[in-house]
Amino acid sequence: MRRRAVLVPSVAVAVVLGVALAGLAAWTGVLHLPYPSRREFPIQGIDVSNHQGAVDWPRVRAEGFRFAYIKASEGKTFTDPDYTSFAAGARRAGLTVGAYHYFTFCSDGAAQARRFIAASGGRVAGDLPPVVDLEFGGNCSHRPDVAEFDRQYAAFEAVVVAAFGRPPLLYVTSDFADRYLTGASARGSRVAGRRLWIRQTLGRPDGGCERWSLWQFADRGRVDGIAGPVDLDAYCGGEEGFAELTR
């Protein structure tokens, strides 16, 4: 008896669908690459902004997270509306807090620093060092050369150091680092050789604690107490080094 033909999706279509589903799972945080172990990196934390919405800080602390970097400002005009409440809530829950500023390439560096200080309140005893977020994603279209970037960053850093008593830690993406820190074009840059907070969600950053202090290992993590995805970070070092950061 002649049977009706059964339409079976091709292997190629199945692969495409599989990749798409895997991508969707990764994007939503359902599927992720293995995170660094708490045994190797016992001091882990999160970084947040107003995009996270409400945060239940005691539940975040109960998950074992030790610190939270919180966005305070961006450019020379924007103050994150949730910085003050987030910082207070995180401190009450027992997390160590740090403030970060998103640096834009189209604003004066000193003006950005003044915005950061006004938004964060400057140095608070027991807090982590200030951080400046240096990346192309979400930035203005201008791409300064190394000399121009150095001038604007120097102006920013001078004001921040005067207020916080120490230079900011540099949060960098790989493309930014290649242009201004490590690549051939970065020769002579004032930020070359600085200790870093590295964003790398695929694999582990090169080098060790002598090169980087913090590692953002996930940007779609899931944490009890936060409804949506959140950035996850690890400190490179032990208790003594972490305590030194807060002095």
Residue 7 inside a domain? The answer is: no
* Helical packing angle, 109-120 and 146-164, nearest 10°: 30
Looking up residue 193, the CATH number of its domain turns out to be 3.20.20.80
Residue 203 inside a domain? The answer is: yes
Residue 61 inside a domain? The answer is: yes
Q: Is the pLDDT of residue 170 over 70?
A: yes
Residue 194 inside a domain? The answer is: yes
The pLDDT of residue 196 is: 92
Average pLDDT of the segment spanning 183-191? 69
Residue 185 inside a domain? The answer is: yes
The pLDDT of residue 187 is: 67
Residue 140 CA neighbour count, 13 Å, CB half: 10
How confident is residue 173, by pLDDT bands cut at 50, 70 and 90? very high
- Lowest mean pLDDT, pick from 26-40, 67-81, 152-166: 26-40
Mean pLDDT of the chain: 87
Residue 23 inside a domain? The answer is: no
The pLDDT of residue 1 is: 42
Q: Is the pLDDT of residue 26 over 50?
A: no
Give dist(CA 230, CA 218) in Å, integer.
8
Q: Which residues contact 99 (CB under 8 A, 6 or more apart)?
A: 69, 70, 71, 72, 83, 87, 116, 119, 120, 127, 130, 131
Structural domains in the chain (count):
1
Give percent of the chain above pLDDT 70: 84
Return the higher-pLDDT residue of 101 and 29.
101
Q: Is the pLDDT of residue 91 over 70?
A: yes
- Lowest mean pLDDT, pick from 62-71, 126-135, 205-214: 205-214
Domain hosting 115: range is: 37-245
Residue 229 inside a domain? The answer is: yes
Residue 78 inside a domain? The answer is: yes
Element housing 196 (H / E) = strand 196-199
Q: What is the pLDDT of residues 104-120, one digit of tens each?
A: 999 999 999 999 999 99
Which residues are catalytic, by number? 47, 135
